[in-house]
Structure 1
Amino acid sequence: MAASLASLARRSITTSLRNASASGGSGAHEGGTKQWKMLSYLVALPAVALCMVNAFMSGEHGRPEFIAYEHLRLRTKRFPWGEGQKSLFHNSHANALPDGYEEGDH
């Protein structure tokens, strides 16, 4: 029984290898590759271009008014760099500290 199962498995493997080599190996995937390539060029790239145009045409908005809400900008311990109040990627124009913006309005 075990010998016949091994023989059957060997036959199925050699048959599948023979079929794959006869079809060129990638015959079934050529249409899919072409389809995704065309979708990338005709859908994805124009979508990225439209998003870029939208981002640059929207203009610059002013920063929001500072309101000292109790649940925002909590500092339970100091940051380990600088004076401890500014985050690692702090932007003095856009990010408020717990007591307000650093610089005045431009």
Structure 2
Amino acid sequence: MASKLSVVFRRFASSSPAGPSAVAGEHSGGAQKWKMLTVLVALPSVGVAYVNAFVFGDHHEEPPEFHKYEHLRTRTKPFPWGDGNHTLFHNKHATPLPDGYEE
């Protein structure tokens, strides 16, 4: 273990660039490639997802029909916040309580 640490320390403490470089030869330009992928692929993808969610999304849907299944929404002890029946990120339009949706 100590020998591995000493090798790592010698590599970082060495001031001579005598080893192979991460950007030498045919592997150079990697940062430029990822920068272009970010600008041309990732950012437009975020924009398309935003438009799909907030412009074309139907925000006034009725919640699905409530079925009181015995194996779902069981509370063996109350949650430590609020009234003990609501989840931490409770949404009254989407998250049902054990007896159904809130009005």
Aligned to 1:39: 37
Aligned to 1:70: 70
Distance 1:68 1:33, change over 3 A: same
- In structure 2, runs of 5+ residues without a counterpart are 1-13
Matches within 5 A, 1:1-106: 17-18=17-18, 27-28=23-24, 30-56=28-54, 57-60=56-59, 61-103=61-103
Match for 1:88: what amino acid? L
Higher helix share: 1
RMSD after superposition: 2.4
Secondary structure (helix, strand or coil) at the match of 1:17 reads: coil
Match for 1:42: what amino acid? L
Once the two structures are TM-superposed, the CA of residue 19 in structure 1 deviates from its matched residue by 6.7
Q: Which has the larger radius of gyration?
A: 1
Give 4+ residue runs of structure 1 displaced > 6 Å after superposition: none
Match for 1:58: what amino acid? G
Once the two structures are TM-superposed, the CA of residue 18 in structure 1 deviates from its matched residue by 4.4
Percent identity over the alignment? 56
Number of residues paired by the alignment? Answer: 85
Aligned to 1:4: none
- In structure 1, runs of 5+ residues without a counterpart are 1-13
- TM-score, with structure 2 as normaliser: 0.68
Give CA-to-partner distance per residue, 1:35-62, whole Å, 9 cap, x none: 1111111111111111111112122232
- TM-score, with structure 1 as normaliser: 0.66
